[in-house]
Structure 1
Amino acid sequence: MRPALLAAAAVLAAVLPAPAVQPDGTRDLFNGKDLTGFRNVNCAPGTFFVKDGEIVTTGNPTGFLATDKHYENFELDFDWMHVEKKNMANSGLFVWGDPLPAVGTPYTRGIEVQVLINFAPKDGWATSHGDIFSIWGAKCTPDRVHPVNPKMERCLPSENRVKGGGEWNHYKVIANDGAIKLHVNGKEVSGVSKSSPRKGYLAFESEGAECHFKNVKIKELPSTNPKADEVAKVWEGHVSLFTGLDLTGWKTEAGAWKAGGGVLRATGKAPLTSEKQFGACELIFDWKVSAKVDAVAVPVKVGGPTPIMVSLPAGAKGGGWHRQTIRREAGPVGPIVFPPMAGLELMNVFVKELK
């Protein structure tokens, strides 16, 4: 090619955007600029953000940033780095997860690929360099029997290839037909199979430590036709009303409610009232009361002035988490109001406005 043509081609290459999908089918899952394609499920607005072409999580509160769409079979590549150099630093990738957290926890049901450093339990039940395991009701079969508990659905890596704090690590996650293989810095070290679900959301985890992610790319593979019960739930539009950190978005008297660690606790004599008003809506929340309580009715107002009584399931006692769904098809507009009942705790408060 003539020099002039070469120069023109170089100019065009510099100004034209790169192809959205590479010839082999690989595409960027993260655009390097913002969180388009992802949904902050249950964290404060500032828990996940983009800086210098990286997704950053502060680690506080615990929760997850999920993709907008389901994925089934794929090859996922990404780089990650914890900034902590001495103490344990935790995060993770959730594979095939549900759109909302499991009951009484900030985590989704799914398969977790561990993103952890500086952790070495004395009994050897886990490592900090590439474990894969089922969480919160998901199922899988480890490629190797767990050395401490043969029934544990957790595959420990064959070798330690993870670099420490302040250094970048590369993960390749190959997921196909319910099997997951993890490559750490260029070599396969762990895997599971027979997973359920085996189609769902992907998510980066926030869990107590600042962690950075970049160069997130995915190549989708052909479907292997999962059964209906092997597919995670689909997001129906519910959004979180609780930051997990504080009472932002809520009104109450000083000292009447405390927030932190992903939980709201009634500690006074005033109700907890949402700042936003709702008409027709569906409210989902997890709640529990003291273990000393065998029967209780919690009056919750959802938009209208008349409270809806929420009771423990038949045969259940206090001390455990329960998920409640209240659907209000029509009626006057008003706030969501939780009563100041002694010992009442709430988490995973989500609402969907109905058309």
Structure 2
Amino acid sequence: MKIKSIYTLALLSSIFLFSCSSGEKENADGWKNLFNGEDLSGWKAVAGTASFAVENGEIIGTAVAGSPNTFLITEETFGDFILELELKVEHVSSNSGVMARGQFDPDGRDGKGLVYGYQIEADPTERAWSAGIYDEARRGWLYPLELNPEAKSAFKLGEYNQYRIEVIGDEIKTWLNGQEVAYVVDDMDKSGFVGLQVHSIQKPEDAGRKTYFRNVRIKTENLDPQPFNKDIFVVNNRLNELTDYEKTQGWRLLFNGQNSEGWVGAYKDSFPDFGWSVTDGILTIAASGGGESTHAGDIVTTEEFSAFDLAFDFKLTEGANSGVKYFVTLKEENSGSAIGLEYQILDDERHPDAKMGREGNRTLASLYDLIKAEKQPRFLKPIGEWNKGRIVVHPDNKVEHYLNGIKVVEYVRGSQEYKDLVAISKYKIWENFGEAEQGHILLQDHGDEVSFKNIKIKTLN
């Protein structure tokens, strides 16, 4: 008995030492398993009635009819972290996602509970916005994959997909199956839980559809951010400040947030001394009765540009009209606003210009008087809130307009289709309208109060 006891003690000691050494090895690089592979210890389901179970080392979420989005969330909250996990959906109806710094209001939705905050998407539909960044139950899409269409092919339906999510400071970056996907700079939430979503279903026959999660691990200390190697567009919500990554990719500010450096009045040698103002990092044109360039007047960049990627935030007041023009040459010496291709900025509901022109081609984000912007109301921010505009002019003369990350206009400068549109527009009196090799960027004074910030540009070769 004594010999057996000594043997048993030695065996237990060996197992203990092995376990300790294995644990030390597992934690040596700082990773911690959030899911133990056996049960849901450390997790709780909230906000819906979908079920979660553990089988064969997998978390299995099952959709149920009549339930809102359901989330399995960690009891622990996290600030800065790197999160890795594998996720699988078997049917196109099984939209899912991963909450990062998620928030929960137990009194939301009449006491049923509301989950909100940053969500990394799992989108098995034809839209294919997986690993894009959505602000659940709050602001909507922050990074739709219209901003990185090459990444749409990364997600594999019916297979496990490897997600990597970096949330460090105000930067959120995502990878899907090793592919760089989304980059958002935003500081609304400093910490929160990790959550796994089972989405609500629209059709009763989709009840019982399953979503699978496994190998969920997190690192919260000694973080080593993984750099993006590709040229990925950054949705940057800092005020007039670029990330180091943007700078290395060739971006620069056109408005420094402090003064009018780099801008002058159209057809003038200096910046207007009234009307336009810079306050708290915001560039604003004051209201003056709604006339087109009859007060302070338009402002233009001192530089000229040919192929470029231009991004800007704008905020309309009720009933306001303005625009961002490009390829402005200032050669026409016309009265009123200087001539150029225009990204229309307009309160479509309250300004009469929205109902003029042809088939809506004077509405918000349209190529003014030429091509209507095809936009959905769900991607618009209300009057008085900031919207994000973007104009991309490729070296081959393909031009794209974006509104809040969604492409709404596409055309080719100088093409026959483009010329035909010009021929039936107000611009037909200008020879070779919009076809200059280069031109200024213009912000329009249309007599209404409109504000701008985060104006950045990158030249394209």
TM-score after normalising by structure 2: 0.38
Judging by fraction of residues, say which structure has more strand: 1
Judging by fraction of residues, say which structure has more helix: 2
Larger Cα Rg: Structure 1 or Structure 2? 2
